[in-house]
Structures are given as structure tokens and as C-alpha cells.
Amino acid sequence: MAYIKYKEVTKQFNFSKALNKEDMPGYIKHYIPEDEQILVAYKTSRDHGVFTDKKIVLFDNVNMREKSKQIYTIPYKSISILDVVFGEKNAELNFSLDCGFPIKLKFVDMKAEDKVRLRLLYTCINRIVNGQEPLKEDVKRLTSDDVSFKN
């Protein structure tokens, strides 16, 4: 009888800033097809994450000395579980892929407009994961960076 030691594999990012599309590094644009709309992009001190209307692309700078990157492309259709948790100044977007791979995206040092942006993003992703179109108003607010608080 063989025993397999199971180790949970979790990838974690700590995003600290939303990026304007103009401020994104050029290499990121190569991974986003022209027929996809960028909803929002984030960065950590070394990594980037881009949320489009079809997928998430995460750029993980694995080894800064060797300048190596690991790139994850996650289609929304492969997400089976999705949740968002808001704290006072932080938030987490957690999801599991159909294959069971969990991913945790942390958002730190958030201001009120950052929370609105994340709420809009979560709403869009949740609708897509559930086979619905995201609300046009939410997509417009994200793409135009209109994240002022509205009732």
C-alpha cells in the first residue's frame, strides 16, 4: 500500500496599487488579446495582475536576480468557487479552480475607492463565472476608473 503525502498548493499575491493602463509595463500587453477588454490591473512590489473580461493574468517575478517570471493565465470559466473578504484596510479575493488549485489575491493598504473598485471587479467576475454578462455600468466604471462611491 502506498501513501502519498498531500501538500496544499496555494499561490498568493499581495496587490498594493491599481494601475492605469498607460502605466502597465509593455510586456503585459503582449498577453492580452485585442478582443479582450482590460477591466483593471494591479501591482505588488514586484508582480502584476491583470483582470480582463475573459480571464486573469498573473505575472509572478519568481527570481529577481535571474529576471525570471512565471505567468498564470486563469480563464474565468475555470473558477469553481469565488469569494471576497473585506477588512478595514485590506481585502482578499479567494478562488478555487476546477482542478482544486486555490489562489489567494490580497489587496493591502486599501482606500475607499480601492474597495469600490474591488467590489465592482468581484461583481463582474462573479457574473461571468455564473454564466452571465457583467453589468455594462460596472464594466464602464472599471474601465474608466470611475470608482467614486455611489449608492
Bridge partners of residue 51, in order along the sequence: 40, 56
| Per-residue pLDDT, 7 | 41
Q: What's the confidence (pLDDT) of residue 123?
A: 96
Low-confidence spans in the chain with pLDDT less than 70: 1-11, 63-66, 149-151
User: What superfamily does domain 11-132 belong to in CATH?
Assistant: Bacterial Pleckstrin homology domain (2.30.29.50)
The pLDDT of residue 145 is 85
Please state, as a whole number, how many other Cβ atoms lie within 10 Å of the Cβ of residue 116. 18
Q: Which amino acid is at 117?
A: R
pTM, to two decimals: 0.86
Quote the mean pLDDT of the chain.
86
Residue 51, classified by CB atoms within 10 Å of its CB into exposed (0-12), middle (13-18) or buried (19+), is buried
